[in-house]
Amino acid sequence: MALITLRRNFCHLSDFRIQGALTALKNHPINHVHKVAKEHLHPWFCSVQSEPFRIQFHHACCKKFHSQNGNELHLVGEPAFSQGQDWNRLEQNLENENEQIFYRRLNEFTSSEEVLSFISTLETLTDAMAAGALQRICEVEKKGGQRLPTEILESSVFQAWCFRFGREPSQLPDSTLVTTLQALILLHVDTQSSLILNLVAECQNRLKRGGLHVHDLCVLGDCLIRLQGPECVTLELIICQLQGEKLEAYTPEDIVALYRILQACAEKVDQHQTFLNMINSYSLSIVSYLSPKSISQLLTALVVLDQTQALPLVIKLGKYVVRHIPRFSNEELRKVIEAFIYFGHNDRFFIQALEQHITVFCLTLDAEVVSKVMEYCSRKLILSKPILNAVAETFVCQSEKLSPSQIYELIEPFGKLNYLPPNAPALFRKLEHVLFTQLNYFPPKTLLRLLHSCSLIECHPVNFMEKIFSPFFLQKLQGEESHLDQLSMAQLTQLYLTSVLECPFYKGPKLLPKYQVKSFLTPCCSLETPVDFQLYKSVMIGLIDLLGARSYFASKVLTPYCYMIDVEIKLDEEGFVLPYTVDEDIHKRVALCIDGPKRFCSNSKHLLGREAIKQRHLRLLGYQVVQVPYHEMEVLRSRQELVEYLQRKLFPQNSTIHWQGG
């Protein structure tokens, strides 16, 4: 009788190579043997067990069997089949089942020690499985770039792997070769060891011969970048071979790896732009298959490669980012937001998802991520009260953990967006405390910009004005330059104007005239928003119809206080409109602020901080400020409606208008 045993073993998954046994059984195809094997193997193959099994075929017993008449025997009712096909199928099934069990067990482990302990119990292990085990160690090791512990690197199992792969790398299949190299690099094995050098040399030999699969080329490219950096000359050969492959042969992971390879050669992007255009178009079809990590990597590559023409791809990636926000790591989310800032991408669904995420996890997010979120809101002028409120609470709780630059990045958007959170008193008390205790750690320009932002929302830094107007601070602010930059001078001037107009109790040093600007509206670093030209033209037409002549108002008037007024109208004591050339008997000056969309937060009617402080200061200087916002102008349908609207705005108490000639 044939002896075919299945010995159940809960500690071992052994003898993965049973080709010799199968060959012996093929040479003696007895139907009874096949039946017994099938009956015994079937429950194991079909059951879902967490424990592995050991399979052993006793060849000597199998050799005792022979066919009585030399023909195949079949069970009654079973169809006849080719013995070669049957045993080939059985052999393949056995190998596949063994690998499935192996990888299923492998994925259950959560530490390198568990993986090594498991491997040490196995009697035989294929090269592919050994490479898979190395990959699993890479997955469970999250050491932030550190090397593997010495006890793992020096373990007998790990050393056996190194010896095995380094001895005859030419015998390894392509995929196993590059996968092993990648795993060892990620595990920070010595890059100058003979093992790594032998594997790299073998990979390069096969690359020169050609024939590597797309995936293997992508993995190899990633390995060489990690080993030799973007200067690696072999990368060009890899890119050349990848260009010869059909894009349909790339998996989504391969596409992302290809972007990373091209990213490493960003200085040569012009040479590969045609290829990049093809990849950008093709990538639209694979976005839905990408993981959060891959989406982050792809967006980062698009930034480095300056693919501003790939906006359709960025927009589609943005739609899937919304779905994955809770699944991004801190670093991945930071890179996604950086990319959106770079490409100017703004999606209300992304903002809503970001709001939900920030309000829940703000206290646990890295400061760099929170800073990047605030930068995004500031750059895109997004007044998100849930985000700003959550960040304000976080600052009060965790300000001690923040660097000076991070403190600035968190506070600056409140001033820029002209928003005071509900906990504003606690927020600015905490900020004042931080400044008193850490003032010397703040770079001069960072400190100036921080204090200027506070002044925009009427949180005046009176206790620090004496410092920033002092010659010592101004000298530090100037640094090695021959003069102060224009933006710093403008911010100093506006802070000084604030101290005069809004803080009359301040009696400290004044800002010397040589540090003051003449106008806040400058081409490169303006503290005002230029008037919207189309809106300005419409108002001009209405004012001419209303007042009767162009001579009754002046446009784009620079005041002695550095502010530019869009339209100025002069009135005498009786309310008559004077020609703009008259400089006597002026009782009131009307400052008409023609506020286009750029003077407001994005998609809102909330005035920006720099426009709010301008209008506040103009009122304190004696001007009658009249605001003409774009959203009120948009509803006007005729010229007559425009004139009536301007009349209500300029002369709300009078039904008729008076003017006198000059």
What predicted TM-score, i.e. pTM, was given to this entire model?
Answer: 0.77
365 within some domain: no
Render the burial of 603-635: b for 16+ CB within 10 Å, e for the rest.
Answer: eeebbbbbbbbbbbbbeebebebbebbbeebee
Render 643-654 in DSSP notation, one character per residue: HHHHHHHH-TT-
608 within some domain: yes
CA dihedral 475, 476, 478, 482 (to 10 degrees): 60
Structural domain span for residue 590: 533-650
Distance CA 599, CA 594 (A): 9
Query: Of 50, 73, 108, which marks where a domain is finished?
Result: 108
Distance CA 463, CA 475 (A): 20
pLDDT for 89: 53
Residue 540 CB neighbours (<10 A): 15
Q: Alpha carbon of 355 to those of 114, 348, 420: distances in Å? A: 40, 10, 17
Query: Of 78, 108, 138, which marks where a domain is finished?
Result: 108
For residue 219 the two structure tokens come to 């993995």
Count of domains forming the chain? 2
445 and 481 Cβ atoms separated by less than 8 Å: no
330 and 368 Cβ atoms separated by less than 8 Å: yes
Distance CA 120, CA 156 (A): 9
pLDDT for 470: 93
pLDDT for 30: 39
pLDDT for 283: 96
398 within some domain: no
CA Rg, the chain, in Å?
37
Distance CA 106, CA 111 (A): 10
92 within some domain: yes
Say whether 461 sits in a helix, a strand or coil.
coil
Query: Of 85, 108, 131, which marks where a domain is finished?
Result: 108
556 within some domain: yes
What 8-state DSSP symbol labels residue 554?
A: E
With tokens 């403190």, the residue in question is: 407
587 within some domain: yes
pLDDT for 95: 56
Q: What is the mean pLDDT of each run of 10 residues along the chain (662 residues)?
A: 33 36 38 38 36 34 35 39 48 60 81 80 77 78 61 75 77 86 83 86 90 91 88 87 91 94 90 94 96 96 96 96 94 96 93 95 92 95 96 94 95 97 96 94 96 96 94 90 90 96 92 93 88 95 94 94 96 91 92 96 95 97 96 94 94 61 44
70 within some domain: yes
pLDDT for 146: 56
487 within some domain: no
